[in-house]
Structure 1
Amino acid sequence: MTATADAEAAANELTPLADYLGSVLRRLRALPPLDLDLTQAHGNVLAEDVVAPHAFPAFDQAAVDGYAARWEDISGGGRGPSYVPAPSGTPGGRSIRLNVVGDLGAASWRPVRLTPGSCFSVAAGSPLPVAADVVVPVEWTDQGMAAVEIFRTPKRGYGVRRAGEELPAGTLLARAGTYVSPALVAVFAATGIGHVVVRPSPRVVIVATGDELVDVGRGSQPGQVVDANSHALTAAAAEVGALAYRVGICDDDPEGLRGLLEDQTLRADLIITTGGTGTGPGDMVRRILSRREGGRAGPVTFTDVALYPGTALGFGTVGAEEVPVVCLPGDPGAALIGFEVLARPAIQLLAGAEPVFRPSVRAHLLETVSSPGGLREFRPAHVAERRGGGYTVQPLRGGPFTLSGLAEANGLLVLGERVTTAAAGSTVDVLLLDRRR
């Protein structure tokens, strides 16, 4: 049997990524809902539909600073206004004079009514007088105080916001599963909502394992590897919206690892470990968490998945509370890819967010790339929108294991299990990462 045939045979024994993800995500449930004060709801996902209890705007109001008037008075249809010569250069050659009978601000509350030939000076947001159907902007007038001359006539309804014009009472403001953004907080507040029912942000604990690990602030040496993973994964979990806690480094000590994980179940909705998922002599996480005890399988199942990079992944539960645990590889690039394809969707599902996967696009490949057969590869890439529509994607140098490529990427090029070569000019799938730069 040739080396290629051996590789293909080995790949055929791997679990397809889609099957693995489906089996994992079906075991997870969204966290129980909480009723939160509006000021605490931002960043969470709604657990229930939200309906406006009150209209917005709540009353007829001025949309601009100016003069609230009857349109028939300023259009020439009424008998009240006086017509006077307009300043030089004014369109139409004449202006309209109205008596200013009062001032209204946003805090005004007494109802008032317009009479023919009169107007009120109003500030944006102030209640409109009864019978007013237009607000003339200040800059279209001489800004008079007792009487005002109007040089331009707006259309009927200009500068006016009617009660319920934007959001009538009973409007569905947001559906369950919607992310609570700052703008949505404003909508809720404006329609009289003070509390909403949301899914809480998942509490995610990150643990790095390995005797070789040392903390940041120094360079790696033979026998020592700087722990980049726990810092990167904590940042990745926080980016998704989780409450992320970095525990730090745990040595390859069976009792120490078991005790640490047991302790963390008290404050975690999900635990992520990194390192030790393989079958080598130093891969203690797999050995410890998959060990059979009392005739029962271990709490975590490790699966060799058709994924590149990072074939070996683990999932299960730990502790009496059966807190979900995701076990990712120790290589930093493989750990970050594993987070994207497994841990991130798990966090989204716990948070009740929809969809759980990142958006993807079809893009025009700018460079020919090769890929290992039988594995679904996720490669760092740069995605750009084409001027005529659509997208292009440029693979970044170094392949999927390079941290520098992941740092530069705004997308992940996805090459399926049957793809060994993707030619320049072909159309490929790309996951879109957060573009914040």
Structure 2
Amino acid sequence: MTATADAEAAANELTPLADYLGSVLRRLRALPPLDLDLTQSYGNVLAEDVVAPHSYPAFDQAAVDGYAARWEDFSGAGRGAGYASGHAGSPGGRIVRLNVVGDLGAASWRPVRLTPGSCFSVAAGAPLPAGADVVVPVEWTDQGMAAVEIFRVPKRGYGVRRAGEELPAGRLLARAGTYVSPALVAVFAATGLGHVVVRPSPRVVIVATGDELVDVGRGSQPGQVVDANSHALTAAAAEVGALAYRVGICDDDPEALRGLLEDQTLRADLIITTGGTGTGPGDMVRRILTRREGGRAGPVTFTEVALYPGTSLGFGTVGAEEVPVVCLPGEPGAAMIGFEVLARPAINLLAGAEPVFRPSVRAHLLETITSPGGLREFRPAHVAERRGGGYTVQPLPGGPFTLSGLAEANGLMVLGERVTTAAAGSTVDVLLLDRRR
């Protein structure tokens, strides 16, 4: 059997990525709903539809600083309006003169009514007097106090905001699954909501394992590897919206690792480990979490997935509370890709967010590349919009294992299991890592 045939045979024994993700995500459920104060709801996902309890605006109000008046007094139908000689902005080239009978501010609350030939000086946000159907901006007048001359007449309804004009009571403001943004907080507050029911942000604990690991702030020596993974994965979890906690480094000590994971179940909705997922003598995570106890299989199953980089992934639950755990490879590039394809969707699902996967586009490839057969490859790339529509994608040097490539990428190019060569000019799928396209 040739080397190529051996590789293809090995790839055929791997679990397709789509099948693996489906089997994992079906085991997860969104976290129970939580009723939160409005100021604390930002960044969470709504657990139920939200309907406006009150209208916005709550009452007829002025939209600009000026003079609230009756349109009839400008059209000549009013009985009390006064007119002066020619100005192009007023009916028939006349200046309209109205009596100013009071001032209304945003805090005014007593009901008042306009009579023919009169107006009120109003501030933006002030309640409109009964009968007013236009607000003349200050700059279109002589800014008079007892009487005002209006040089330019607006259209009927100008400067007026009617009650419920933007959001009537009973309007659906947002559906369940919607991310609570600052603007949505403003909408909720304006319609009278003080709290909403959301899915809480998942608490995610990140643990790096390995005797070889040392903390940041130093260079690697032979036999030592600086722990980049736990810092990067903590940042990645926070980017998704999780409450991320970096535990740090755990040596390859079975009892210490078991005890650490048990302790973390008390404050975690999801635990992410990195390192030790292989089958070598030092891969303690896999050995501990797959160990049979009482005739039962271990709490975590490790699967060889048709994924490049990083074929070995683990998923299961730990502790009496059966907290989900995701086990990622120790190689930094593989850990980051593993987070994107497995941990990130898991966090989104726990948070009730939809969709759980990053958005993707189809893009024209700018250079010919090769990919390992039988594996779904995720390669760092730069995607850009083309003039006239569509996207182009440029693979970054070094392939998927390079941290510098991941740092520069704004997309991950996805090459399917059957792709061994992708020619320049062909179309490929690209996951968008951010909005800088």
TM-score range, shorter chain: over 0.9
Instruction: Supply the distance in 2 between the matched residues of 1:255 and 1:315 (Cα, whole angstroms).
Output: 20
Deviations 1:61-108 (A, max 9, x none): 001111111111123332322221357999974321111111100000
The worse-fitting range, judged by mean Cα deviation, of 57-66 and 144-153 is 144-153
Instruction: Supply the distance in 2 between the matched residues of 1:241 and 1:136 (Cα, whole angstroms).
Output: 47
Segments of 5+ residues of structure 2 without an aligned counterpart are none
Q: Per the alignment, in what secondary structure is the counterpart of residue 400 of structure 1?
A: helix
Length, aligned pairs only: 437
Deviations 1:313-335 (A, max 9, x none): 00000001000000000111110
Instruction: Supply the distance in 2 between the matched residues of 1:364 and 1:85 (Cα, whole angstroms).
Output: 68
Instruction: Supply the distance in 1 between the matched residues of 2:436 and 2:342 (Cα, whole angstroms).
Output: 23
Instruction: Supply the distance in 1 between the matched residues of 2:394 and 2:113 (Cα, whole angstroms).
Output: 66
Aligned to 2:254: 254
Q: Give yes or no for contact 2:91–2:153 (8 Å, CA) kept in 1.
A: no
Q: Give yes or no for contact 1:229–1:332 (8 Å, CA) kept in 2.
A: yes
Closer, same or farther: CA 22–88 of 1 in aligned 2, 3 Å: closer
Instruction: Supply the distance in 2 between the matched residues of 1:359 and 1:89 (Cα, whole angstroms).
Output: 52
Instruction: Supply the distance in 2 between the matched residues of 1:81 and 1:362 (Cα, whole angstroms).
Output: 65
Q: Give yes or no for contact 2:290–2:299 (8 Å, CA) kept in 1.
A: yes
Q: Give yes or no for contact 2:90–2:153 (8 Å, CA) kept in 1.
A: no
Instruction: Supply the distance in 2 between the matched residues of 1:294 and 1:177 (Cα, whole angstroms).
Output: 41
Instruction: Supply the distance in 2 between the matched residues of 1:417 and 1:85 (Cα, whole angstroms).
Output: 83
Q: TM-score with structure 1 length normalisation? A: 0.98
Q: Give yes or no for contact 2:68–2:134 (8 Å, CA) kept in 1.
A: yes
Q: Per the alignment, in what secondary structure is the counterpart of residue 197 of structure 1?
A: strand
Deviations 1:260-311 (A, max 9, x none): 0000000000000000111122111111111112211111000000000110
Indicate whether 1:224 and 2:224 are aligned: yes
Deviation >4 Å, runs of 4+: 86-93
Q: Give yes or no for contact 2:269–2:324 (8 Å, CA) kept in 1.
A: yes
Instruction: Supply the distance in 1 between the matched residues of 2:286 and 2:335 (Cα, whole angstroms).
Output: 15
The worse-fitting range, judged by mean Cα deviation, of 84-93 and 379-388 is 84-93
Instruction: Supply the distance in 2 between the matched residues of 1:82 and 1:51 (Cα, whole angstroms).
Output: 47
Instruction: Supply the distance in 2 between the matched residues of 1:329 and 1:313 (Cα, whole angstroms).
Output: 7
Instruction: Supply the distance in 2 between the matched residues of 1:94 and 1:424 (Cα, whole angstroms).
Output: 71
How far the C-alpha of 1:147 sits from its partner, in A, is 1.0
Q: Give yes or no for contact 1:75–1:153 (8 Å, CA) kept in 2.
A: no
Q: TM-score with structure 2 length normalisation? A: 0.98
The worse-fitting range, judged by mean Cα deviation, of 268-277 and 288-297 is 288-297
Q: Per the alignment, in what secondary structure is the counterpart of residue 109 of structure 2?
A: coil
How far the C-alpha of 1:221 sits from its partner, in A, is 1.2
Closer, same or farther: CA 116–299 of 1 in aligned 2, 3 Å: same
Indicate whether 1:127 and 2:120 are aligned: no
How far the C-alpha of 1:360 sits from its partner, in A, is 0.7
Q: CA RMSD in A?
A: 1.4
Q: Give yes or no for contact 2:89–2:153 (8 Å, CA) kept in 1.
A: no
Q: Per the alignment, in what secondary structure is the counterpart of residue 189 of structure 1?
A: helix
Q: Per the alignment, in what secondary structure is the counterpart of residue 143 of structure 2?
A: coil
Instruction: Supply the distance in 2 between the matched residues of 1:374 and 1:138 (Cα, whole angstroms).
Output: 72
Q: Give yes or no for contact 1:91–1:151 (8 Å, CA) kept in 2.
A: no
Aligned to 1:272: 272
How far the C-alpha of 1:151 sits from its partner, in A, is 1.1
Alignment of 1:271-290 (within 5 A): 271-290=271-290
Q: Give yes or no for contact 1:86–1:151 (8 Å, CA) kept in 2.
A: no
Instruction: Supply the distance in 1 between the matched residues of 2:90 and 2:153 (Cα, whole angstroms).
Output: 11
Percent of pairs identical after alignment?
Answer: 92
Instruction: Supply the distance in 1 between the matched residues of 2:179 and 2:3 (Cα, whole angstroms).
Output: 49
Closer, same or farther: CA 244–38 of 1 in aligned 2, 3 Å: same
Q: Give yes or no for contact 1:64–1:135 (8 Å, CA) kept in 2.
A: yes
Indicate whether 1:317 and 2:317 are aligned: yes
Instruction: Supply the distance in 2 between the matched residues of 1:408 and 1:74 (Cα, whole angstroms).
Output: 63
Closer, same or farther: CA 99–220 of 1 in aligned 2, 3 Å: same
Deviations 1:246-266 (A, max 9, x none): 000000010010000000000
